[in-house]
Amino acid sequence: MLSTVKGKLENLLGDFYAPVMILLKTLVVLIVAFALVKIGRIVIKKLFDKQKKLKYKIDDKRIDTISTLTISIFKYTVYIGALLTILSGILDLKAILAAAGVGGVALGFGAQSLVKDTISGFFILLEDQYAVGDTVTIEGLTGRVEHMELRVTRLKNYTGDLYIIPNGEIRKVINHTRDNKLVVVDIPIAYSSNMTKVTEITKKVCEEVKKKFDKFTEDPSILGITSFSEHNMNLRITARTLPNEQWEIERQIRLKVKEEFEKNGLEFFDRTRLIKPE
């Protein structure tokens, strides 16, 4: 029956039969490849998500990193297999193998950057330089690692911009999420202020912020006066927090200090020093 259908198609299409069949085969291979990639992505993600629920497991960020890298490897494998299948239908396999010997050198030079990116990606993963979810600075670009693929790393900054960086171009990495972070809040104090009162209020602010948040690894405390300027002196508060929590703590301390200073009639600078004598 198939031979009959084939014969009818050959008679109907004539000289166009071979090109049409190649086109149909190409479309089928592409559809299957895209479907495999989509299904494979879902299956791999579910497998790694199950790992997160186990009692004895590795870090969630590490799991997400390995998951995205595995999906990337699977995707490239499927697409390369699809490309070879399509080429084998268009060209004779022996001719492809013969051409590979001649064109292999040229292809090798062209694929140098691809190989370089891939090898660099494996070393980044092996050395655990960063993981999905980390906030990093790579070659001057700062953002959260959204995906780490076989060839590229994708960062998203706080405004939503997406940076796509080839792994082979990564030379310097600053990881902002691998250790506790220092909180530094500088408070300008007027020279005319009562320092006993300032210290009392500042300690109160430190205690309130400490009770409100459970993100501290080192409690907030008054470091002391760190500098003098023309119109005020600088009082510094320091603390240490979990990674990526320092900015919120700094904002809260500044807000609390402002509110308490206003309640107690304290000023941040000496107004009398703003008026210069004639």
Domains of the chain as residue ranges with CATH: 2-110 (1.10.287.1260), 125-175 (2.30.30.60), 181-274 (3.30.70.100)
Flag whether the pTM goes above 0.75.
no
What was the pLDDT predicted at 158?
Answer: 86
User: SS3 of 55, please?
Assistant: coil
HSE at residue 1, side-chain half, CA atoms within 13 A, is 0
User: SS3 of 182, please?
Assistant: strand
What was the pLDDT predicted at 90?
Answer: 66
List strand residue ranges (DSSP E) for 77-215, in order.
135-138, 141-148, 152-156, 162-166, 173-175, 181-189
**Spans of the chain below 50 pLDDT:** 2, 5, 102, 106, 277
Q: How many Cβ atoms from other residues are within 10 Å of residue 99's Cβ? A: 14
What was the pLDDT predicted at 59?
Answer: 64
- 141-148/173-175 β-pairing: unpaired
What was the pLDDT predicted at 69?
Answer: 76
What was the pLDDT predicted at 2?
Answer: 44
